[in-house]
Amino acid sequence: MLSSNDGRFATCEKSCGIDEISVMDKCVRRVHLAERCVTSKQCPNFSECRFGTCQCLCGYKQDSLIGSRCTNPDDPFSLNAILTGVEQVFGGNARNP
């Protein structure tokens, strides 16, 4: 695949499989949280390759329900926040009369 480098000159980019990413003319596989990585491009959204493994960005934490993605615990529209709210309304937090 031919791509542009800020319009200055054309470069070639290796064409990789759907579960891979092109890094310096090589295809490396995408990985899950806590798996080995060589670049942050391999890691899921809101995570980075730190000390050779994919870890959530600062301020984000691994989703306790799904486990394979990082979420912002302060985001009121995150899946965890919504489910916690539903649990508080319908869950076992009801008071005895």
Residue 65 in this model has a pLDDT that exceeds 80: no
Whether the model clears a pTM of 0.75, i.e. scores above it, the answer is: no
Residue 3, beta-bridge partner list: 11
Mean pLDDT (whole number) for 43-59: 96
Most confident of 64-68, 75-79, 86-90: 86-90
Average pLDDT, the chain: 80
Residue 47 in this model has a pLDDT that exceeds 80: yes
The string of pLDDT tens digits covering residues 20-29 is 999 888 999 9
Beta strands 47-50 and 26-29 are: unpaired
DSSP labels, 32-94: -TTSB-SSGGGSPTTEEEETTEEEEPTT-EE-TTT-SSEE-TT-TTSHHHHHHHHHHHHSTTP
CB atoms within 10 A of CB 43: 24
